[in-house]
Amino acid sequence: MYINNPASYTDYYELTMAQGYFLSGKHQKSAGFDYFFRKIPFKGGYVIFAGLNELIETIQNFSFSEEEIEYLRKENFKKEFLDYLQDFQFKGNIYSVKEGEIVFPTEPILRVEGNLLETQLIETLLLNILNFQSLIATKAARIKLAAGEGPIVLDFGLRRSQGLGGIHATRAAMIGGFDGTSNVYSAQRFDVPAGGTMAHSWIQSYDSELDAFQTYAKYYPDDTTLLVDTYDTLGCGVPNAIKVAKELEENGHKMKAIRLDSGDLAYFSKQSRKQLDDAGLGYVKIAASNQLDERVIHSLRTQNAPIDIFGVGTRLVTGHTTPALDGVYKLNSVDGTPKLKISENIEKITLPGNKKIFRYCNDDGTFYGDAILFDQEKTIERMHHPTFPAKKSDVTSREFEDLLQPVIKNGRIVSNLPEVKEIAKYAKQRLNLLQPEYKRLENPHIYKVGISTNLMEKRDALLKLFKS
């Protein structure tokens, strides 16, 4: 657990609302909330859902310590409310798509059921975990797709992350398809590959670059990667690395790679590759870092830059160019009565009632589109565009799967919580079923997400009722 007291890891108004529900006697009313987002980040075509396991494990430990109760007492919360909180545990239900699933705007990708107080209290925690990890997993997937199947892609982002966010950024990056990390804490915590080489300071601390290289190779003869751009990349960096590689060969070892961390990476990688190959070192790989993201990597690949390893840091863990996923948590029902939020912006009008998601497939198994429907609906004939109902698709003859499955029932975990490696494997499998036009970097296709006829009619009836 990274949060010692998860119950206080919240916004103040969650607690004032919870106390208000308790004092007014509404706290035991049943309620349902949906988690969804409205806009795909990075001008992309999809989002990878991440953070579920961390959320579930945290909710299992969601209770108020004596320290938290004492703090709330000083904040003038009522004694009877604080007495209630002393024995608080989440005893509701959570339904969710699998972690690693490919998801799209407006879909209720996670649903929380329980009493009004407990479903309200976990809102901030839920949004904090799911929004961040889904954002970074999506960024990582875009970067990995740009790099292609050949190169290795590593997370170098801990030093540039927002505080302890680097812990979960690494986890999310692995789910998105990264191959390893420099982050030792997260590598140990989540059982993912760790690795690293050297900084410029290592080389500067020696009297010569060659001495620095030789000393490093002495202690890491089978894992030598040399940073070659401290002084003069092509003039002395690569030549010195070649000399050390030859010395390693004489002693029965092989250098692993050189690393470029500045300058024109396409040019330097090509020139470095030529020098290495001319020296008979075709097995020595080239690693590159320095402000990389999916677009820079795509450019390097289209220029045929012979880079085998990409180290991605700042632009991964900060979600460049979209620093936050706009995920929201909205009430859908109270005591079985459907609720919605009305907005002047039709795209922000929420969908009432408990809902689920059917994913329909093409004949080849690829994704066709998703329908949002009431939880009690078994099948539907067509799905309608949420804001332009005249646009509709017939889905009667298509195979489908129900994406929302129970994760917590009556406060107890009822679903397997897979390890990060398994989640990453699932994400890759699902991403392979998403057609290429939705995955391209520029102007991706918009994936079909529709609502059932019953859901559309109920929403419209409630809109007319509340506006009258």
Classify burial at 239, counting beta carbons within 10 Å of its beta carbon; exposed 0-12, middle 13-18, buried 19 or more. middle
The torsion defined by the Cα of 160, 165, 170 and 171, in degrees rounded to 10, comes to: -170
pLDDT of 2: 57
State pLDDT tens for residues 241-278: 999 999 999 999 999 999 999 999 999 999 999 999 99
pLDDT of 293: 98
Q: Please name the residues in contact with 378: beta carbons below 8 A apart, sequence gap of 6 or more.
A: none
Sequential DSSP letters for 363-389: TTS-EEEEEEEETT----SEEE-SS-T
Q: Please name the residues in contact with 321: beta carbons below 8 A apart, sequence gap of 6 or more.
A: 42
Tell me the three state secondary structure of residue 297. helix
On whether the CB atoms of residues 49 and 405 are closer than 8 A, the answer is: no
pLDDT of 347: 81
pLDDT of 16: 98
Q: Could you tell me the pLDDT band of residue 9, with boundaries at 50, 70 and 90?
A: very high
Token pair listed for 467: 């506006």
pLDDT of 345: 82
First vs last Cα of the chain: how many Å apart? 49
- pTM over 0.85, yes/no: yes
Mean pLDDT over 296-317 rounds to 98
Q: Could you tell me the pLDDT band of residue 6, with boundaries at 50, 70 and 90?
A: confident
State pLDDT tens for residues 372-414: 999 999 999 999 999 898 899 999 999 999 999 999 999 999 9
Across-strand partners of 356? 373
State pLDDT tens for residues 126-176: 999 999 999 999 999 999 999 999 999 999 999 999 999 999 999 999 999
Q: CA nearest 320: which of 161, 183, 208?
A: 161
Where are the strands (E) in 281-437, listed by range?
285-288, 309-312, 327-334, 337-338, 355-361, 367-374, 382-384, 392-394, 400-402, 405-409, 412-413
Q: Which structural domains are found in the chain, ordered by start?
A: 6-136+328-467 (3.20.140.10), 148-317 (3.20.20.70)
Alpha helices by DSSP H, 191-264: 200-204, 209-219, 238-250
Across-strand partners of 152? 309
| pLDDT(23) > 50 | yes
State pLDDT tens for residues 77-124: 999 999 999 999 999 999 999 999 999 999 999 999 999 999 999 999
State CA 188 to chain mean position distance: 19
Q: What's the chain's average pLDDT? A: 97
Q: Could you tell me the pLDDT band of residue 1, with boundaries at 50, 70 and 90?
A: very low
State pLDDT tens for residues 33-77: 999 999 999 999 999 999 999 999 999 999 999 999 999 999 999
Token pair listed for 260: 């470029």
